[in-house]
Chains A and B, each alone.
Chain A
Amino acid sequence: MSTRIAAHGRLIDRAKSVGFTFNGKPMRGYAGDTLASALLAGDQMVMGRSYKYHRPRGAVASGAEEPNALMGLGEGAKFEPNQRATTTELFEGLTARSQNHWPGLEFDVGAVNGRLSRFLPAGFYYKMFIHPRAFWKHVYEPVIRQAAGLGRVPGGRDADTYEHFHCFTDVLVIGGGVAGLQAARSAAASGASVLVLEQSAHWGGRAPVDGGTVDGAGADDFVRETVAELEAMPNVTLRNRCMGAGVYDHGYALGYERLTDHAPRAGGPRHRLWRIRARRIVTATGAIERPLAFAGNDVPGVMLASAMRDYLVNWAVAPGRRVIVATNNDDAYRTAITLKTSGIDVLRILDARSSGGGALMQEARALGIRIDCGRAIGRVSGGKRVRSVAVCAQEGTGGALEEVECDAVAMSGGWSPVVHLWSHCGGKLIWDEARAHFRPDPERPPRGADGEGFVIPAGAANGELALNGILGDADEAGKTAARGAGFKPARSKAPRGETVEEAPLQPVWLMPRHADAHLRAKAWLDYQNDVKVSDVRLAAQEGYHSVEHTKRYTTLGMATDQGKLSNINGLATLADAIGSEIPQVGTTTFRPPYTPISMGAIAGEARGAIFQPVRRTPMHGWHEANGADWEPVGQWRRPYTYLRDGESQHDAVMREVRNTRQAVGLLDASTLGKLLVKGPDAGRFLDMLYTNMMSTLKPGKCRYGLMCSENGFLIDDGVVARIDEHTFLCHTTTGGAERIHAHMEEWLQTEWWDWQVHVANLTEQFAQVAVVGPDARKLLERLGGMDLSAGAMAFMEWRDGRIAEFDARVYRISFSGELSFEVAVPASQGLAFWEALMDAGREFGVMPYGTEALHVMRAEKGFIMIGDETDGTVIPQDLGLGWAISKKKEDYLGKRAQARPHMTDPTRWKLVGLETVDGAVLPDGAYALAEGVNANGQRNVQGRVTSTYMSPTLGRGIAMGLVLNGPDRMGEVLEFPGTDGKTYQARIVDQVFYDKDGEKQNV
């Protein structure tokens, strides 16, 4: 029977009853309870089922290390799986559901796995599922998904909000136990700024439960006074419910603050991720008690001795009325004593040490507790809770000396420092033989930018397990941290801790030491992933001697608790099985986060409307209101087409093309990059950046240019306008503005730093509108202003002036083959200008057109598009753009690369036009077939489609593609298989389909 007792309960408020439900059943606890303590108080021992064998499981721990008591919490949009009941604070209305069972917690079909466990040994998944591949889709995946896995995925969209917070501190202290508090105090006394994180809701850690005195007063008093002192210091920040989740390079650390998990109606963000930069980090993360490996150590009611003590002292919960304690050290005696003095029967203390313990043993004996030395648990019997324990000799094979009926077992295998955060960023460990644990190796810390260790372990996390040692170590750690952060520590003495002297422990990795195969197969190492002593031994037998391999083969330590309880016992078992020593076997790598953190916290504010930036032109709102069907182009949204009522996307595009070719169309071209390049060396600079000559361009004129990378590949194109002697305006593609700006700065700063050139990105200073079509000039003239006649402004020229009341710069350039003016006005007047054009153009039948109509029209003219005709492997020579490559220049970026043998290979595929024989539209990206097959038995290919459209102008499908010897094969018909099963026939033609002589743009 697991019940609330009258004594103890330092964290609960018995005056405040709190209602909650577990699997739909209404239950009650007290304010200050955890979900686990409240369930135990209600005699709910079974809290879940294990992952593989679906064995019933109860809480084995009382904190973050808990592997078993994982719950689904909340409902609907607030549902979250895999939450530890031991770290979940109880609140009114909490709803919890256990996991890993079907149909119910009490009766579970999957538990049959347990009976089949000898057919599911280590490596079972590994061996079973590696073949055949096809089974994955039809058998393994659907079946395993149903039966296995932890929890279920939330159904709805997460209703909560999350955020990040950037914080800089001299010293970060992770852990708010007595070590963390003392380290913070000694660091803060130097004047350094100190941030202290504590994962739970309470300061002080284990000390108030474990007892002992600090400078003569109780540990509780020390904690209260120290917290008050720290709170009063302006250079100290204390945060509880905030876990140090990870430590990274150069003093970067993450804190995971749970703001409203315990008070879901409070409003505000649920979690906050602290992105911390600290000069020094003190890890005062304490230690975790190890379970003992004996048969049946997973039966509900078997618990860590320290956890049982926590439940008693903190929450006044006795997990059983008749308890057996098994230990290899003195600390578990504290649990026995606490149980006994709370009125619970302690039937036996089974001390694996033949000579038992020290003063604590004497104290227990004086209370009348029976102590059997050199004894062990042979096995625990019971299904959904402990029924009895078979007692045996520790040095034997498990032959039972007696069977003792009981309802709970407290076990202690010694303590392991929490070294995770020390190890996250590369801190190394040493094996402490006397205490049988790994602790931080002070000679090999994680190092910061200054080459010094930046993580300083303190207290139990540093292997100090007695109160006085902990306080002294923490005091020194705080001073070391302050010194490392550039402060002079104050001269002060560490407080004096006093506890009972303890006798040494005796390492026990298996109980009894020579347990037979039958017992080993029931002795759990990793509760959550169901890994037993027998599994690790099997892995060793099969040749998995590396700890990293054994881990993956057996899945030991790979569950959501990352082996907090199983790690050392697993290593010891492996070492034993391969006849090696623990330090030689070594440990697995600890990786952040310390315990799982929510996806919401990682995403922070980046969700919904601000998932990522959406760039808007000044006319964005108009497009939105006028049927824009958006296309993402980089972070911009550009109208793909403007849909009218009842119109299909395709019909809208065809209408826009026809209207632009026959009357006049408007394109929002504001997204095109506009880079101002100025200086005495600007011409020389642009000659290096573009393949063609820019320095000879006359002011007032425009020239189309190509840019290549140093590898020779085309990276961007656009029109360059010369503004004056020293100034050029370079247009880039929409996606290229920031990239090409950075490209220019890179070459100017890192190669030609003595050249006198400045670059400014003016992309967003201007709204730019392309006014395109036979009536383009008439429309602009209707608005009035500057002279745009052919005489005043020839093709490929630009002028500054005014159109209506707008200051405008007009470029007479064309990407469609039509008469075309691109007009730039200040962005703040972009919308007004656009609306003025729409008004004035009504009589000409003006329509806006989108990016797809732009693409169709440029393809009809055979113009290339960066990203369609180019893919990072295409050079200008492939595209028939030799005319845009200066033969006179000695050098430009990419010139040397374009002389490499592969680049001059005549068999490189070249750009041609493609015209389907039946007028259909070629599939995009389709390959042209060649004779024969390649080494992989695939058909050889001789070209591919780079752009393909339905041309309303020609009434047929048109395309461009890169084809082997293409320009020499005009008229030849190629076959292009589509993914639709059809094969398309297309003839190689000139890529300019429309107005080959360019008469229309030149009027």
Chain B
Amino acid sequence: MSEPVSALKGASFDGLAHVEECGLQGMITLRGALSARAVQKAATVASGASLPDANRANMAGEGGLCWMSPDELLILCPYPRAAETVETMRKTLGKTHALAVNVSDARAMFRVSGGAAREVLAKLCPVDLSPAAFGPGQFRRTRMAQIAAAIWMEDDESFGIVCFRSVAEYAFNLLKAAAQPGSAVGVFAARPGAISGD
């Protein structure tokens, strides 16, 4: 097998936050009735994570399970195992009406980390990213400037971001621009109001 490469081969940038392309990530789209026993089993076994509530993601070691819509989950798994995982899932699903398909190569994944990570994302997404409104465990599909993206927090200072592979370069450049040194907003960080005044 030829060596697979991610869209930006792990490119990274340091500014207000650390921005990096995460390399290849196994991702499986699962569509089906989330209440169906077989769908739940296929998802939880494949990811090793428990079934998330709406707009949430559960991470477990190298795996994860993200709620995409009322009939769609995104399974995160190690890239080399995605194809075999899909096969296992199909067996588990049996005759249940569902669709499991490997989308690892269709996506790019980024991590934005550091104290200003929330601000960097809030410059690009029309989402309330204040600590009171968004925290680890939550998962949100939204718009990042002009592209579709899904975002979640891995911990209080780091976001995972998934977008389509074709726009990986645009996404990286966006994040770099939003993380430019000297562009801190100072709303989520430190004491509110501390950077206002003369």
Give the chain B neighbours of A113 by CB distance below 8 A: none
Does A610 lie within 8 Å of B196, measured CB to CB?
no
- In the complex, A104 Cα to B93 Cα: how many Å? 82
Does A828 lie within 8 Å of B146, measured CB to CB?
no
Does A167 lie within 8 Å of B146, measured CB to CB?
no
Q: Does B54 lie at the interface of the complex (its beta carbon under 8 Å from any beta carbon of A)?
A: no
The 0/1 profile, CB within 8 Å of B marked 1, for residues 606-629 of chain A is 100110111111100000000000
Does B105 lie within 8 Å of A828, measured CB to CB?
yes
Q: Does A236 lie at the interface of the complex (its beta carbon under 8 Å from any beta carbon of B)?
A: yes
Q: Nearest chain B CB to A228's CB is how many angstroms away?
A: 10
Q: Nearest chain A CB to B65's CB is how many angstroms away?
A: 17
The 0/1 profile, CB within 8 Å of B marked 1, for residues 816-833 of chain A is 000000000011110111
User: Which chain A residue lies CB-closest to B71?
Assistant: A758
Q: Does A100 lie at the interface of the complex (its beta carbon under 8 Å from any beta carbon of B)?
A: no
Give the chain B neighbours of A680 by CB distance below 8 A: 97
Most buried by B among A168, A678, A763, A828: A828
Task: Tell me the chain A residues, 552-591 only, with Cβ under 8 Å from chain B.
Answer: none
Q: Does B123 lie at the interface of the complex (its beta carbon under 8 Å from any beta carbon of A)?
A: yes
Q: Nearest chain A CB to B84's CB is how many angstroms away?
A: 13
Does B177 lie within 8 Å of A236, measured CB to CB?
no
Give the chain A neighbours of B119 by CB distance below 8 A: 165
Task: Tell me the chain A residues, 984-1000 only, with Cβ under 8 Å from chain B.
Answer: none
Q: Report which of B2, B29, B133, B193 forms a contact with A231, defined as CB distance below 8 A.
A: B193
Q: Nearest chain A CB to B103's CB is how many angstroms away?
A: 6
Give the chain B neighbours of A616 by CB distance below 8 A: 7, 166-169
Give the chain B neighbours of A831 by CB distance below 8 A: 5
Most buried by A among B102, B167, B170, B191: B170
Q: Does A385 lie at the interface of the complex (its beta carbon under 8 Å from any beta carbon of B)?
A: no
The 0/1 profile, CB within 8 Å of B marked 1, for residues 197-235 of chain A is 000011100000000000000000000000100111111
Q: Report which of B24, B166, B196 forms a contact with A617, defined as CB distance below 8 A.
A: B166
Does A806 lie within 8 Å of B2, measured CB to CB?
yes
Give the chain A neighbours of B13 by CB distance below 8 A: none
Does B97 lie within 8 Å of A829, measured CB to CB?
no
Query: Quick one: given A613-B170, A760-B99, A765-B105, are A272 and B185 in contact (CB under 8 Å)?
Result: yes
Q: Does B61 lie at the interface of the complex (its beta carbon under 8 Å from any beta carbon of A)?
A: no
The 0/1 profile, CB within 8 Å of B marked 1, for residues 247-274 of chain A is 0000000000000000000111100100
Q: Nearest chain B CB to A741's CB is how many angstroms away?
A: 12
Q: Nearest chain A CB to B187's CB is how many angstroms away?
A: 6
Q: Does A766 lie at the interface of the complex (its beta carbon under 8 Å from any beta carbon of B)?
A: yes
Give the chain B neighbours of A758 by CB distance below 8 A: 31-32, 71, 97-99
Stretch at the interface among A44-52, A237-245, A451-459, A488-496: A237-245
Number of A-B contacts (CB under 8 A): 173
Q: Does B174 lie at the interface of the complex (its beta carbon under 8 Å from any beta carbon of A)?
A: yes
Q: Does A703 lie at the interface of the complex (its beta carbon under 8 Å from any beta carbon of B)?
A: no
Give the chain A neighbours of B105 by CB distance below 8 A: 764-766, 826-828
Q: Does A164 lie at the interface of the complex (its beta carbon under 8 Å from any beta carbon of B)?
A: yes
Q: Does B88 lie at the interface of the complex (its beta carbon under 8 Å from any beta carbon of A)?
A: no
- In the complex, A642 Cα to B180 Cα: how many Å? 36
Does A765 lie within 8 Å of B106, measured CB to CB?
yes
Q: Nearest chain B CB to A605's CB is how many angstroms away?
A: 5
Q: Nearest chain B CB to A205's CB is how many angstroms away?
A: 15
User: Which chain A residue lies CB-closest to B191?
Assistant: A234
Give the chain B neighbours of A235 by CB distance below 8 A: 192
Give the chain B neighbours of A764 by CB distance below 8 A: 105-107, 164-166
Give the chain B neighbours of A761 by CB distance below 8 A: 106
Q: Does B127 lie at the interface of the complex (its beta carbon under 8 Å from any beta carbon of A)?
A: yes
Query: Quick one: given A760-B103, A765-B106, are A605 and B197 in contact (CB under 8 Å)?
Result: no
User: Which chain B residue lies CB-closest to A826?
Assistant: B105
Q: Report which of A240, A272, A762 forms a contact with B103, defined as CB distance below 8 A.
A: A762
Does B103 lie within 8 Å of A238, measured CB to CB?
no
Q: Does A146 lie at the interface of the complex (its beta carbon under 8 Å from any beta carbon of B)?
A: no
Q: Report which of A203, A233, A612, A807 forms a contact with B146, defined as CB distance below 8 A.
A: A612
Q: Does A138 lie at the interface of the complex (its beta carbon under 8 Å from any beta carbon of B)?
A: no
Give the chain B neighbours of A605 by CB distance below 8 A: 123-124, 145, 174, 177-178
Q: Report which of A269, A609, A676 forms a contact with B101, defined as CB distance below 8 A.
A: A676
Does B99 lie within 8 Å of A833, measured CB to CB?
no
Does A231 lie within 8 Å of B197, measured CB to CB?
yes
Does A201 lie within 8 Å of B198, measured CB to CB?
yes
- Chain A contact surface mostly: mixed
Q: Does A163 lie at the interface of the complex (its beta carbon under 8 Å from any beta carbon of B)?
A: yes
Q: Does B10 lie at the interface of the complex (its beta carbon under 8 Å from any beta carbon of A)?
A: no
Does B198 lie within 8 Å of A231, measured CB to CB?
no
- In the complex, A167 Cα to B187 Cα: how many Å? 9
- In the complex, A826 Cα to B83 Cα: how many Å? 11
Q: Report which of B31, B107, B177, B187 forms a contact with A161, defined as CB distance below 8 A.
A: B177
Does A267 lie within 8 Å of B182, measured CB to CB?
yes
- In the complex, A168 Cα to B106 Cα: how many Å? 32
Give the chain B neighbours of A275 by CB distance below 8 A: 126
Query: Quick one: given A168-B128, A613-B167, A680-B97, are A163 and B177 in contact (CB under 8 Å)?
Result: yes
Q: Does A166 lie at the interface of the complex (its beta carbon under 8 Å from any beta carbon of B)?
A: yes
Give the chain B neighbours of A806 by CB distance below 8 A: 1-2
- In the complex, A46 Cα to B170 Cα: how many Å? 49
Does A610 lie within 8 Å of B126, measured CB to CB?
no
Does B3 lie within 8 Å of A832, measured CB to CB?
yes
Does B122 lie within 8 Å of A827, measured CB to CB?
no
Give the chain A neighbours of B170 by CB distance below 8 A: 610, 613-614
Give the chain A neighbours of B196 by CB distance below 8 A: 231, 237-240
Q: Nearest chain A CB to B126's CB is how many angstroms away?
A: 5
- In the complex, A804 Cα to B1 Cα: how many Å? 9
Does B169 lie within 8 Å of A614, measured CB to CB?
yes
Task: Tell me the chain A residues, 340-379 only, with Cβ under 8 Å from chain B.
Answer: none
- In the complex, A766 Cα to B166 Cα: how many Å? 11
Q: Report which of A227, A237, A615 forms a contact with B192, defined as CB distance below 8 A.
A: A237
Task: Tell me the chain B residues, 127-143 only, with Cβ under 8 Å from chain A.
Answer: 127-130, 132-133
Give the chain B neighbours of A234 by CB distance below 8 A: 191-192
- In the complex, A342 Cα to B145 Cα: how many Å? 55
Give the chain A neighbours of B29 by CB distance below 8 A: 760
User: Which chain B residue lies CB-closest to A676?
Assistant: B101
Give the chain A neighbours of B198 by CB distance below 8 A: 201-202, 240
- In the complex, A267 Cα to B99 Cα: how many Å? 51
Give the chain A neighbours of B102 by CB distance below 8 A: 765
Q: Nearest chain A CB to B58's CB is how many angstroms away?
A: 22
Task: Tell me the chain A residues, 807-856 only, with Cβ under 8 Å from chain B.
Answer: 807, 826-829, 831-833, 836
Q: Nearest chain A CB to B108's CB is how many angstroms away?
A: 9
Does B99 lie within 8 Å of A167, measured CB to CB?
no
Give the chain A neighbours of B192 by CB distance below 8 A: 231, 233-238
Give the chain A neighbours of B125 by CB distance below 8 A: 166
Give the chain B neighbours of A807 by CB distance below 8 A: 1
- In the complex, A609 Cα to B173 Cα: how many Å? 8
User: Which chain B residue lies CB-closest to A616?
Assistant: B166
Q: Report which of B3, B103, B168 forms a contact with A765, defined as CB distance below 8 A.
A: B103
Q: Nearest chain B CB to A309's CB is how many angstroms away?
A: 22
- In the complex, A828 Cα to B26 Cα: how many Å? 12
Q: Report which of A277, A615, A762, A805 forms a contact with B166, defined as CB distance below 8 A.
A: A615
- In the complex, A612 Cα to B187 Cα: how many Å? 27
Q: Report which of B133, B183, B197 forms a contact with A238, defined as CB distance below 8 A.
A: B197
- In the complex, A805 Cα to B3 Cα: how many Å? 10
Q: Nearest chain B CB to A589's CB is how many angstroms away?
A: 27
Q: Does B94 lie at the interface of the complex (its beta carbon under 8 Å from any beta carbon of A)?
A: no
Give the chain B neighbours of A614 by CB distance below 8 A: 167, 169-170
6 contacts between A and B (CB under 8 A): A163-B183, A237-B192, A605-B174, A613-B146, A765-B102, A826-B105
Identify the A interface with B (CB < 8 A): 161, 163-168, 193, 201-203, 227, 230-240, 266-269, 272, 275, 277, 605-606, 609-610, 612-618, 635-636, 676, 678-680, 756, 758, 760-766, 804-807, 826-829, 831-833, 836
Known interface pairs A168-B133, A238-B197, A269-B180; 10 further A-B residue pairs with C-beta atoms within 8 A, sorted by A's residue number:
A165-B123, A166-B127, A167-B187, A231-B193, A240-B197, A268-B183, A756-B97, A762-B106, A765-B102, A826-B105
The 6 A-B pairs of least Cβ separation, nearest first, read A268-B182, A828-B4, A168-B128, A615-B166, A827-B105, A764-B106
